[in-house]
Amino acid sequence: MPRILIPSALRQYVDRQDVVEVSGATVGELLEALATRYPELRRHLFTAEGKLRSFVNVYINEEDIRYLQREATPVGEADTISIVPSVAGGNATVAATPPSLSREEILRYSRHLIMPEVALEGQLKLRQASVLLVGAGGLGSPLALYLAAAGVGRIGLVDPDAVDLTNLQRQILYGTPDVGRKKLEAAAERLQALNPGVRLERYETALTSENALEILRDYDIVVDGTDNFPTRYLVNDACVLLGKPNVYGSIFRFEGQATVFAMPGGPCYRCLYPEPPPPGLVPSCAEGGVLGILPGLIGVIQATETIKLILGAGRPLVGRLLLYDALNMTFRELKIRRNPECPVCGDRPSIRELVDYYELCGAPRHSEQQGASQWDIEPRQLKQLLESRERIVVVDVREPHEYRICHLPGAKLIPLNELPRRLHELDSSEEIVVHCRSGQRSAKAVELLRQAGFRKVRNLRGGILAWSDQVDPSVPKY
């Protein structure tokens, strides 16, 4: 019977299984059988009109069904179907090489110099190369460390954030004393200590449509270590417009992806994911979690591909999507084809300048995220209501393992993915306050409840994190 491999982002809808066997003669029949068996999965795979969502790619064995017969592609008993939702070779151009390395550089890079694939010529290429890292977090940490150690001459870092205690589980550029410091300040200190010969350029700003082309223009290679869809599409489009290779990586829970986009004749990110998923449908690492080791492995793969591009060595991941599953310790490779109809890199591109990527992805800008909606309630307001003994039903829409970490007294646990089928457990005549970790999932829950006819429902702004900050510091933050 054909197997369907379920990515971790969708396993909560299929009873936590990573492989499901269903029967059917075509890919479409298999997916329909899967959605029928697990109804909550349907909206993640299909539109309201029953069409396969454009941000969900489906492969049979190693082939993208878009280049076969799409949903009508026949399936044999031994075939494997992969669902790949969005969770954003050759030489890089380098400047003329200097005549030689210093005595200190020869000693520092000696293990490179004795490799015929690198040797003196390759090390000089590394010294003259320039690489921009978009993001100095989980992926950016191993990338920056290994590229600096390898002797990449100029490294640019783009990141506006400060170091948070929660970063230290995976962002190995930083240590406990760095908490509260600007990331790029701490990163520059660490990288210069590792290799004083590397020139570092810091951009303590968010990458935007207004500044992206200016920042990316002077670098040979761009490495995408971002954590949100607007920036992924922005990096992709800017790389295509500027003709820069885009070394891509993404992580979620126990799974990672890596490939190289925007090489001549190769696909770009939009070829793989023509449209972003609806806001909130794909959880971030902050909401869904990530194994701390995972970004190290994917970041090292990105660093490897970057160095191969600089050296012009080996076979780069162009047109190949590498999938890593840490739980099963497996690597799989899927083909990615350039889409001739792609609006950015296709034969007749319609996108010739950067657009509004927050509007494209339907995502709120940072300033909008800070503003309260009309359905929000502040933590102190909820505390006052609870102390006044008013009848308030508090609903926690996090997962059971999060509830065990910490929870509000008397809160009723109904995980977000279970909420549609458990509406009967709530009384629409009662005052309901919904909360999650940070307020994102609960905002979605409030929208769902209001669509179901609930009118006395509000969202705890900032979630249990804000409750810990403003009401009860004994509640642990995670």
Given a cut of 70, whether residue 298 has pLDDT beyond it is yes
Output the pTM of the full model.
Answer: 0.74
Please, are residues 331 and 259 in contact by the beta-carbon 8 Å criterion? no
* pLDDT score at 363: 59
* pLDDT score at 199: 97
The per-residue DSSP string of 168-199 comes to GGT-TT--GGGTTSBHHHHHHHHHHHH-TTSE
Q: Are strands 56-60 and 80-85 parallel, antiparallel or unpaired?
A: antiparallel
Q: Which CATH architecture has domain 3-85?
A: Roll (3.10)
CATH 3.40.250.10 domain position(s) in the chain? 372-470
The rounded distance, in Å, linking the Cα atoms of 195 and 215 is 23
pLDDT tens digits along 141-163: 999 999 999 999 999 999 999 99
> Which CATH code for domain 372-470?
3.40.250.10
The rounded distance, in Å, linking the Cα atoms of 219 and 210 is 17
Determine whether 337 is exposed, middle or buried from the number of CB atoms within 10 Å of its CB (0-12, 13-18, 19+): middle
Given a cut of 90, whether residue 476 has pLDDT beyond it is yes
* pLDDT score at 89: 39
Q: Decide which of 12 and 317 is more confident.
A: 317
Given a cut of 80, whether residue 367 has pLDDT beyond it is no
pLDDT tens digits along 455-472: 999 999 999 999 999 999
pLDDT tens digits along 396-446: 999 999 999 999 989 999 999 999 999 999 999 899 999 999 998 999 999
Mean pLDDT over 286-305 rounds to 92
Q: Decide which of 374 and 282 is more confident.
A: 374
Q: What does the radius of gyration of the chain's CA atoms come to, in whole angstroms?
A: 24
From the list 146, 152, 105, 144, the residue with the least C-alpha distance to 125 is 152
pLDDT tens digits along 237-258: 999 999 999 999 999 999 999 9
Residue 18 token pair: 């990573």
The rounded distance, in Å, linking the Cα atoms of 354 and 206 is 15
* pLDDT score at 90: 41
* pLDDT score at 372: 54
The model's confidence at residue 369, banded by pLDDT at 50, 70 and 90, is: very low
CATH 3.40.50.720 domain position(s) in the chain? 129-367
Q: Which CATH superfamily is domain 129-367 in?
A: NAD(P)-binding Rossmann-like Domain (3.40.50.720)
What is the length of the chain? 478
Alpha helices for 363-472 (secondary structure H) = 366-370, 379-387, 400-405, 440-451, 463-470
Given a cut of 60, whether residue 27 has pLDDT beyond it is yes
The rounded distance, in Å, linking the Cα atoms of 435 and 458 is 9
Mean pLDDT over 213-228 rounds to 94
* pLDDT score at 172: 97
The model's confidence at residue 281, banded by pLDDT at 50, 70 and 90, is: low
* pLDDT score at 21: 93
CATH 3.10.20.30 domain position(s) in the chain? 3-85
Residue 407 token pair: 């929870």
Residue 324 token pair: 């890593």
Mean pLDDT over 83-97 rounds to 56
Residue 212 token pair: 């992206």
> Cα separations (Å) of 153 from 60, 144, 218, 313?
42, 12, 13, 18
The rounded distance, in Å, linking the Cα atoms of 96 and 99 is 9
Least confident range of 7-11, 156-160, 226-230? 7-11
Percent of all residues in the chain with a pLDDT value above 70, rounded to a whole number: 93
Catalytic residues: 285, 436
Backbone angles phi, psi at 258, to 5 degrees: -150, 145
The model's confidence at residue 365, banded by pLDDT at 50, 70 and 90, is: low
Given a cut of 80, whether residue 85 has pLDDT beyond it is yes
Mean pLDDT over 338-361 rounds to 90
* pLDDT score at 71: 93
